Amino acid sequence: MESPSRSSVIIVGAGVSGLSAAKVLIENGVEDVVILEASDRIGGRIRKQDFGGLSVELGAGWIVGVGGRESNPVWELAQKSNLRTFFSDYSNARFNIYDQSGKIFPSGIAADSYKKAVESAMQKLKKSEADSCYGGGDVTKAAESSSTPKTPIELAIDFILHDFEMPEGEPISTFQDFGEREFLVADERGYEHLLYKMAGEFLFTSEGKLLDNRLKFNKVVRELQHSRNGVTVMTEDGCVYEASYVILSVSIGVLQSELIAFNPPLPRWKTEAIQKCDVIVYTKIFLKFPYKFWPCGPGKEFFIYAHERRGYYTFWQHMENAYPGSNILVVTLTNEESKRVEAQSDKETLKEAMGALRDMFGLNIPEATDIFVPRWWNNRFQRGSYSNYPVISNGQVVRDIKAPLGCIFFSGEHTSERYSGYVHGGYLAGIETGKALLEEIEKEKERSIESENQTFLLEPLLALTGSLSLTQNDAVSSLKCDIPRQLYLSGKVGAPELYYDYVDL
Ligand SMILES: Cc1cc2nc3c(=O)[nH]c(=O)nc-3n(C[C@H](O)[C@H](O)[C@H](O)COP(=O)(O)OP(=O)(O)OC[C@H]3O[C@@H](n4cnc5c(N)ncnc54)[C@H](O)[C@@H]3O)c2cc1C
């Protein structure tokens, strides 16, 4: 076993949030930071994969929220890294809805179904609001009478409206703040290139490789012992790391799993908040063909398969705009369908996807030559794709998840109050956590100066009362009064709780 190494801060996770937190700390003089990453790469849910001779994005694919009143910081990073991106226009997708016999629904029917689905969604939203405020009432009746999707086209549109993207509830703050445009990243260097570029500004690199020994790969954190004196972190390979603080930037799915044990255990209000957040599983399945057989051209990038089973191979995209001649299709599955395909063989998934495509484009289309099925749910370092707070959430759940506990700080996209679920949410959450920790380090310094001064003043008094038999250390520790760090740097303002005094074991 390695002997424990001590640093100021340990950051668990080298995704966008862990890295942006590290950047804030290191650039503000807290250089003895250790970043422990379970996998062998940075990026987490930003992850490229070689497929069909190209680099495709298994995780985040779009920069969402561009063209609004504020500039999206991830868009800025993309510009700085010269990332190749393409504007995605989803508005035509609803006019490319195929039934199981390969006919495209007339645009009038599609528009009507879409309008009905939006109205029904609005009714449901009002019902949830009414339920949470007044316990229902007239709106409840209205919502009950509003139609539940039944036909394949209704089910398909309902899936697009509710399951396809949209990690935030309405109104979508990303769109409000940064704009409604979305850009697909289609760059051989991958979306992750912007992270390498950012990390290169504060970590040591050589020939484009991150070689800083503060960044440690294949370090799966399994146990976190914490007290008012700091943290001891144990990794699966038997290493032990000590620090004054830890930033935990692992996903909400990992927090919900039992991968990391806390000693003492987290208090109940924290674990309850963690369990309340939904985890969306979002799976992009890639298929490579010998030639293309789907329509291309303006307004044809996205198409929809209407099936009687909700979410069954519903949403499709061709890659011809971004990579002409690539002959690659992507189909998106979510939640239960994602979990179902993760549990079966890729051969079975290929058969199902080909079935959907043959329904839409006929029996003579060629067989796919390759398939890639990411498994975000079964990945123990992710356990899902992104957080999804209940539509009507007063923000308390996210604030409870984010609230620091003594020396443990929480970060990650799921701690972003306005942009949870997105890359920019993770990026901004990391910056916020880094700044909160800097403030706490500063306060801790002030506290120890104060306590040193008190010792200095007390010494003559101790001499007079004949207590000089006490050592200086005894005197100092008796003065500290065991005041732990303030729990809430944000969130429960005005009601700081002293975590180490009430840990519910
Ligand atoms: C399929 C998919 C599609 C998406 N599409 C988009 C999109 O188009 N646009 C968008 O903006 N966002 C999208 N997202 C969401 C976006 O990718 C995330 O919000 C963001 O990348 C999260 O960053 P993070 O740093 O919070 O977490 P992560 O990237 O998950 O980083 C956490 C890190 O912690 C590590 N870790 C976990 N457990 C341990 C442990 N025990 N010890 C040590 N390390 C550990 C993980 O390996 C990981 O590297 C998508 C996500 C997925 C999965």
What's the CA gap between 423 and 44, in Å, rounded?
11
93: DSSP letter: G
Atom index in ligand 1 nearest the CA of residue 282 equals 1
**CA of residue 46 to ligand 1 center, whole Å:** 6
Q: Which of 427, 437, 426, 416 is nearest to 26 (CA)?
A: 437
**Paired strand residues for 57:** 48
What's the CA gap between 201 and 76, in Å, rounded?
15
466 lies in a domain? no
Q: How far is CA 76 from CA 70, 82, 85, 158, in A?
A: 11, 10, 12, 33
Residues 324 and 262 in one domain: no
272 lies in a domain? yes
| Segment holding 154, helix H or strand E | helix 152-162
Residues 389 and 270 in one domain: yes
Out of 445, 460, 486, a domain closes at: 445
Q: What pLDDT, on a 0 to 100 scale, did the predictor assign at position 306? A: 96
Q: How far is CA 353 from CA 319, 327, 372, in A?
A: 17, 15, 12
What's the CA gap between 392 and 260, in Å, rounded?
30
Q: Which of 56, 423, 424, 427 to mutate to test the pocket of ligand 1 (most atoms within 8 A of CB)?
A: 423
Residues 12 and 25 in one domain: yes
Are 327 and 66 in contact, with CB atoms under 8 Å apart?
A: no
Out of 316, 347, 372, a domain closes at: 372
pLDDT tens digit at each of 505 positions of the chain? 556 779 999 999 999 999 999 999 999 999 999 999 999 999 999 999 999 999 999 999 999 999 999 999 999 999 999 999 999 998 888 889 999 999 999 888 888 888 887 777 777 666 666 665 544 444 444 444 456 888 998 888 888 887 775 555 666 899 999 999 999 999 999 999 999 999 999 999 998 899 999 999 999 999 999 999 999 999 999 999 999 999 999 999 999 999 999 999 999 999 999 999 999 999 999 999 999 999 998 999 999 999 999 999 999 999 999 999 999 999 999 999 999 999 999 999 999 999 999 999 999 999 999 999 999 999 999 999 999 987 666 789 999 999 999 999 999 999 999 999 999 999 999 999 999 999 999 999 998 888 878 766 666 655 655 544 434 443 333 332 222 333 333 333 333 344 554 344 3
Are 212 and 205 in contact, with CB atoms under 8 Å apart?
A: yes
Are 220 and 37 in contact, with CB atoms under 8 Å apart?
A: no
- Could you tell me the CATH number of the domain that includes residue 288? 3.90.660.10
Nearest CA to ligand 1 atom 5: 60
**CA of residue 393 to ligand 1 center, whole Å:** 22
Cα torsion 320, 323, 326, 332 to 10°: value is -60
Residue range of the domain that includes 12: 7-47+187-277+382-445
240 lies in a domain? yes
Residues annotated in the binding site, as ranges? 17, 37-38, 221
**CA of residue 385 to ligand 1 center, whole Å:** 7
- Could you tell me the CATH number of the domain that includes residue 211? 3.50.50.60
Q: Which residues contact 468 (CB under 8 A, 6 or more apart)?
A: 462
Q: Which of 386, 406, 363, 403 is nearest to 503 (CA)?
A: 406
Out of 372, 401, 433, a domain closes at: 372
What's the CA gap between 127 and 362, in Å, rounded?
43
Q: Which residues contact 283 (CB under 8 A, 6 or more apart)?
A: 332, 333, 334, 337, 338, 341, 342, 373, 374, 375, 376, 385
The structure tokens 């050592």 sit at: 471
What's the CA gap between 32 and 230, in Å, rounded?
15
Total structural domains within the chain = 2
Residues 222 and 265 in one domain: yes
Are 300 and 92 in contact, with CB atoms under 8 Å apart?
A: yes
Residues 155 and 295 in one domain: yes
Q: Is 201 helix (H, G, I), strand (E, B) or coil?
A: coil
Residues 196 and 267 in one domain: yes
Are 152 and 109 in contact, with CB atoms under 8 Å apart?
A: no
Q: Is 162 helix (H, G, I), strand (E, B) or coil?
A: helix
Q: What pLDDT, on a 0 to 100 scale, did the predictor assign at position 172? A: 85
Q: What pLDDT, on a 0 to 100 scale, did the predictor assign at position 31? A: 97
**CA of residue 364 to ligand 1 center, whole Å:** 39
What's the CA gap between 467 and 436, in Å, rounded?
40
Vertex 193: Cα angle to 190 and 195 (nearest 5): 130
Nearest CA to ligand 1 atom 53: 385
Q: Is 85 helix (H, G, I), strand (E, B) or coil?
A: strand
Ligand 1 cavity residues, CB under 6 Å = 12-18, 36-39, 44-46, 59-62, 64, 219-221, 249-251, 254, 259-260, 282, 284, 376, 381-382, 385-386, 412-413, 421-423, 425-426
243 lies in a domain? yes
Hey, what are 461's tokens? 């008094």
| Strands 240-248 vs 221-227: parallel, antiparallel or unpaired | unpaired
Q: Which of 17, 386, 408, 417 to mutate to test the pocket of ligand 1 (most atoms within 8 A of CB)?
A: 386
